Structure 1
Amino acid sequence: MSQLVPLYDKKYTCAICENSFTTKKVRSRFVKVLSYDTDFAPLYADGFENPNYYYVNVCPDCGYSFTDDFSTYFPPGVKQVIEAKISSQWVPHNYGETRTVQEALNTFKLAAYSSTLKKEKHIVTAGLYMRLCWLYRSNENHDQEMRFLKLALKEYTESYSTGDYKGTQVSELRLMYLIGELSRRIGHTQDAVRFFSRVIEKQRQSVEPQIIQMAKDRWQEMREEQAAASS
């Protein structure tokens, strides 16, 4: 019997050029999460795969990049915009094999650009920026981590105000917590306090006690930091 390997091929058809291609995905048994950071960034065990490397699908023929979270709907004229801004300048490149961290970063930037041109939901674009932020953090590139954290915060805030997160896996409580936590990380203390307060106010009707506790923990940390700064 052949030994099971971590990566397998998944087939996709590009919605722009209709080319069929395969790209690697990670088998779940080869993923082991040790813990999560305060913004839900997973810390993977050594010797196990990071599935975020293979989160984005890139058409090797035309460059259109997408994830399984993208909708199948294209607003009128959008395909032509993607063809003009991405495909016409694309040099054929295959991201369908084993990826380095740099290649993974490239795919997320391509997908974020595609998502923006496609007018995908803010919650979808935010998730791409968030994963970029996590990859840069694992690479200890603080400047780029902060750059994409701010972009993620902007998109999450837009998603909250427009309500486009509804019907996705991201609950209102989780979204409010994330806005608070990303605001805290970039030093927007008042915004952080406001959103953590909204989370805590919902503790009686919440079915996500873990997120309520996380908001309380961040709130307490901020109070302690402010007390230490003023003493």
Structure 2
Amino acid sequence: MTELVPLYDKSCKCMICNKSFTTQKMRTRFVKVLDYDTDFRPIYKDPSLNPTFYHINVCEHCGFSFSDDFTPYFPPGTKEIITDKICTNWVPHSFGLERNGKDAIKTYKLSAYCATLKNEKHITIAGMYMRLAWIYRELENMEQEQRFLKLALYEYLESYTADDFQGTQVSIDRLLYLIGEISRRTSNTEQAVKYFSKVIERQSRSLEPKIIEMARERWYDIREEQKEIKENSLSL
């Protein structure tokens, strides 16, 4: 009897060159989540068994990189732009084996670039930048974590304005909360309070009471931090 292993092969077809390639995904039975950060980053029991590393599919033939969240539609001219900017410069190699954090970072940066050239939804691009920030947090690289949190924040704000999160797994409550929480983590306190308040104001019609409660907790944390700063400044 063959022993079940965490990773399995998944066959993909590239949306640019139409060639098939194999990537790896992680079996959910091996994924054990201990907790979540306040921005929804999963904290895994075994950091080496991180399904986030395998979210992106990279075509080994042409370099086009994408997640299952990408839409099949390519706006006119975008395939030609992707071919010119990425495929013509691609040296064929595979990301279809086991990945570590550094490998995963490369795949996310490739896919974020592809998504930008493709004019993919802001909510999809935001999700890739968010996962990049999480990986850098695990690697304890605060500078790069902050960089990609800010990029994610920009895309989430654009998604809110364009309303392109509709029909995705990201609800309005979750989106508003994420904007508030990333603003808090990037020291934009005024904006954080504004968006946490928007979440709290939705409590009577929200289907996600847990997110309402999280927004209240973060709002309270900010208030306590500001109170402490004020008290410390008065005592000097």
Residue 191 of structure 1 is matched in structure 2 by 191
Tell me, yes or no, if structure 1 residue 145 matches structure 2 residue 133: no
In the superposition, the TM-score normalised over structure 1's length comes to: 0.99
SS of 1:212 mapped into structure 2 = helix
Task: Give, in whole Å, the separation in 2 of the partners of 1:47 and 1:126.
Answer: 23
Deviations 1:104-151 (CA, angstroms, capped at 9, x unpaired) = 100000000000000000000000000000000001000000000000
SS of 1:98 mapped into structure 2 = coil
Task: Give, in whole Å, the separation in 2 of the partners of 1:91 and 1:201.
Answer: 51
Task: Give, in whole Å, the separation in 2 of the partners of 1:188 and 1:47.
Answer: 30
> Please, which runs of 5 or more residues in structure 1 have no aligned partner?
none
Residue 126 of structure 2 is matched in structure 1 by 126
Residue 160 of structure 1 is matched in structure 2 by 160
In the superposition, the TM-score normalised over structure 2's length comes to: 0.97
| CA positional deviation for 1:18 | 1.0
Task: Give, in whole Å, the separation in 2 of the partners of 1:219 and 1:86.
Answer: 43
Aligned-CA RMSD value? 0.8
Tell me, yes or no, if structure 1 residue 73 matches structure 2 residue 86: no
Residue 57 of structure 1 is matched in structure 2 by 57
Task: Give, in whole Å, the separation in 1 of the partners of 2:95 and 2:219.
Answer: 42
**Matched AA of 2:167:** G
Task: Give, in whole Å, the separation in 2 of the partners of 1:214 and 1:93.
Answer: 43
Residue 34 of structure 1 is matched in structure 2 by 34
Residue 234 of structure 2 is matched in structure 1 by none
Residue 85 of structure 2 is matched in structure 1 by 85
| CA positional deviation for 1:46 | 2.1
User: More displaced, 41-50 or 106-115?
Assistant: 41-50
Residue 175 of structure 1 is matched in structure 2 by 175
> Please, which runs of 5 or more residues in structure 2 have no aligned partner?
232-236
**Matched AA of 1:121:** K
Tell me, yes or no, if structure 1 residue 13 matches structure 2 residue 18: no
SS of 2:203 mapped into structure 1 = coil
State the 4+ residue runs in structure 1 displaced beyond 2 angstroms: none
Task: Give, in whole Å, the separation in 1 of the partners of 2:200 and 2:23.
Answer: 42
C-alpha change, 1:103 and 1:190, in structure 2 (3 Å) is: same
| CA positional deviation for 1:19 | 1.1
Residue 104 of structure 1 is matched in structure 2 by 104
| CA positional deviation for 1:102 | 0.6
CA contact 2:48–2:100 (8 Å) conserved in 1: no
CA contact 2:32–2:44 (8 Å) conserved in 1: yes
Residue 135 of structure 1 is matched in structure 2 by 135
Task: Give, in whole Å, the separation in 2 of the partners of 1:109 and 1:197.
Answer: 33
The count of residues paired between Structure 1 and Structure 2 equals 231
